[in-house]
Amino acid sequence: MSGLFHSLNIGSESLFASRQGVDTAGHNIANAQTEGFSRQRINLEARTPSETRGVVIGNGVFVKNITRAHDQFLEKQINDTHQEAGQSQARFDTMKPLEAIYSPELGNGVPTELDKFFNSLQDLSNFPEELPIRTSVKENAQSVISAFKHVDESLKTQREDINNRIAGEVSEASEMIDQIGKLNIQIKGAETSSSKEVNDLLDQQDKILRELTQKMDISYYRGDQNMVVVRGPSETLLVDRGASAKLDVQKNGQDGLYDVVVQDGASFKPTVVTHSNKRGRIAGMIEVRDRVIPNLLDSNNKMAGSFANSINEVHRQGFGLKDYKETTGRDFFKISDDPSQAVSSLGLDDRIVESTNAISVAASPNAPGDNVGVNNMLRLKEQKVMGDSTLNDYYANYVGVFGLDLVRSQQTKDADDTLIRNLNSRRDSVAGVSMDEEATNLLKWQANFTASSKVITTVDEMIETVLQMKR
């Protein structure tokens, strides 16, 4: 009888293994469209045989474990590429809106308004005493000021928008870091209890890690009991077992923009990682906010300052009409001595605002028909007042450099997107669920279950026969 019960036990273990195989195949099918899910496989192993009456007899099968199809080296490569792709994507996305600021379709850009201003000076050269023409010069000068200010204000608005978006990205990254730490605790518990859910927890954690690598520069490895350790910029410790650091932003004292700060990290004190974070979406946004836009603002200020100061230098030598026909030394524009405040401080001189008679046209006093002064201002359009280029050439050059940078940024983004698609395709071939394969597995496990049931039925009949013999 003991031998029959041994056979019965082998059949029941086989039934359990077959049922577990069906469960695993069903689990795969149910999660075929779940993002980040890795195909799972049941691993069977023969039990250690035993010797009975000098004969070695097999003891059936048992479910050794359930593993997921996972290539850790491919996963690392995907995450490294995600960091580059996140940066290039964010850089392009934040630079693209800046293109509209310099669009020639606007019709009121800096070059257009400068041309209108110099054209009105040409008219003033022909009719230096005409009030309507003087008024036109004044209005066109105000339009030039508005054009410079539009560029300045638009760039600052975009910069502030990027700054706020950085705060949002940091908040999301901080939540991901916290989730990774919590999953560490769950994974540890599942590993200890040999729970089959550990594979699903690992998939969830890998998915969050992929999302986190898109946002910032991190490195990680799996330590004891499959718990992940995550390090961030400046070697800050973001996740260690169940402990998680907090990612936050704080305004810096220089320009009021946000710095990225790791709190309660390895040093147990706030660590500023704004510029040590080299990859990911946050890094791409910070680069545009702190490098691209400031360069454009500096170029706009430099151009406005050179234009206004050059006009003022000539204008101070001339004479106006009526109350101003015998006085000189007047500026056409008022502007700050601080180059970084050139555009924000730019405006018409108060005397010209009050009266167009203050516009200096003549080179001699009491000579209203003299146009020497205005002709000298006209020549500034073709002179290299920007060092080695004219005003329009300088504008075309710095906007062109920005345009090339934008094109390169898009090309980099497209290349990274292609690489990500290829890597994801490779990952799907390794870890993705094939419905045809799972359907085949179901048929296989069904056949196993039927055969195992036959073993139990046969043994049951044999036991019944033995019992009848005893009666």
Domain positions in the chain are: 2-69+453-470
CA distance 274 to 99: 26
150-177: b (≥16 Cβ within 10 Å) or e: bbbebbeebbeebbebbeebbebbbebb
Q: Are 390 and 384 in contact (CB under 8 A)?
A: yes
Share of the chain above pLDDT 90, in %: 51
Nearest to 133 by CA among 357, 315, 370: 357
The label of the residue with tokens 């002179």 reads: 383
Least confident of 112-121, 139-148, 225-234, 404-413: 225-234
Nearest to 260 by CA among 292, 295, 290: 290
Per-residue confidence band for 195, with pLDDT thresholds at 50, 70 and 90: low
Q: For 348, phi and psi rounded to 5 degrees? A: -75, 145
Task: Give me the mean pLDDT over the 440-455 stretch.
Answer: 87
Task: Give me the mean pLDDT over the 46-72 stretch.
Answer: 80
246-251 and 258-263 as β-strands: parallel, antiparallel, unpaired?
antiparallel
User: Which tens digit of pLDDT belongs to each residue from 264-291?
Assistant: 755 567 889 989 999 999 999 999 999 9
237-240 and 243-244 as β-strands: parallel, antiparallel, unpaired?
antiparallel
Measure the CA angle with vertex 74, ends 73 and 75; round to 5°.
90
- The tokens describing 233, both together, are 């910029």
Task: Give me the mean pLDDT over the 366-393 stretch.
Answer: 89
CA distance 99 to 457: 78
pLDDT of 300 above 90: yes
Q: Are 198 and 67 in contact (CB under 8 A)?
A: no
Helix H or strand E segment including 209:
helix 198-215
CB-neighbour burial class of residue 215 (10 A; exposed 0-12, middle 13-18, buried 19+): buried
pLDDT of 177 above 90: yes
* pLDDT of res. 58: 77
Measure the CA angle with vertex 466, ends 463 and 469; round to 5°.
155
For every residue of 349-366, DSSP letters joined together read -HHHHH-GGGS--BSSTT
Single-letter amino acid code for the residue at 117: F
* pLDDT of res. 281: 94
